[in-house]
Amino acid sequence: MAAEEKPAKDTLCSHPDCSEIATHKAPKGRGKDNDYLWFCLTHVRDYNKTYNYFSGMEDGDIAKYQKDASFGHRPTWKMGVNGKDGPSQAKSHDPYAFMAHRARQKAKASEQQSPNQRGRKLLNVEKKSLETLELDGTATKDDIKKRFKELAKKHHPDVNGGDKGSEDRLREIIQAYNYLKAAGFC
Ligand SMILES: [Zn+2]
């Protein structure tokens, strides 16, 4: 019964945790010029930051990344615990929103501390994501953000002459970071 389709103007931000009116659009991907996501200013910046890291990659790589991100970690998210998934953004078929939404639900009750401070046992996927960023359960939000920036810079293909190994490593880093972010770690 929710008013669905989107006169561009009244669209809500695609970020799963945000109910601002979307004012900025962002392309879903290269070669999909007519496909946009809509965000508020804060989240479009967020999204673009991630999106820009894909700029040197092939569409196939991006699609594969999105697929991995959407479904790869799914078993840890305990699908279907609540029958209904809350905000209307959940119906989005955008993998980014889907991934973030799922993880957000799971992390909802968590505080903004490092997992260890919370006395919380890390899931394997969380541990692995932290390890990818060369961190562990003592990492705070700032630690994670800071490390992500460092590593993303270090492994960006642009500074490595398009080196394939760097690109793979960068993709892992982005995936790990996006997971941690979606799960409320940073
Ligand atoms: Zn927003």
pLDDT at 18 over 90: no
Determine the pLDDT at residue 88. 39
For 137, residues 6+ apart whose C-beta sits below 8 A from its C-beta are 114, 115, 116, 122, 127, 130
Q: Ligand 1 centre from 36 Cα, in Å?
A: 15
Among 129, 41, 125, CA closest to 75: 125
Measured in Å, residue 61 CA sits from the centre of ligand 1 at 26
What one-letter code names the amino acid at 49? K
Give the distance (Å) from ligand 1 centre to CA of residue 169.
29
What is the Å distance from ligand 1's center to 104 Cα?
A: 14
- Compute, in angstroms, the gap from residue 88 CA to the centroid of ligand 1: 14
Q: How far is the CA of 19 from the centre of ligand 1 (A)?
A: 6
pLDDT surpassing 80 at residue 53: no
In whole angstroms, give the CA distance from residue 153 to residue 97. Answer: 25
Ligand 1 center from residue 17 Cα (angstroms): 7
Which tokens in the block code for residue 65? 């990344």
Residue 39: strand, helix, or coil: strand
Q: What is the pLDDT of residue 111?
A: 45
Report yes or no: 161 and 175 within 8 Å, Cβ to Cβ.
no
Q: Ligand 1 centroid to 92 CA: how many Å?
A: 14
CA of 160 to the centre of ligand 1 (A): 33
Question: Is residue 175 classed as helix, strand or coil in its secondary structure?
Answer: helix
| Distance in angstroms between the alpha carbons of the first and the last residue of the chain | 34
Give 109-165 pLDDT, tens digit per residue: 454 567 676 677 888 889 999 999 999 989 999 999 999 999 988 888 777 777 778
Query: How is residue 35 written in tokens?
Result: 């496909």
**73: which residues sit within 8 A by CB, 6+ positions away?**
99, 103, 125, 179
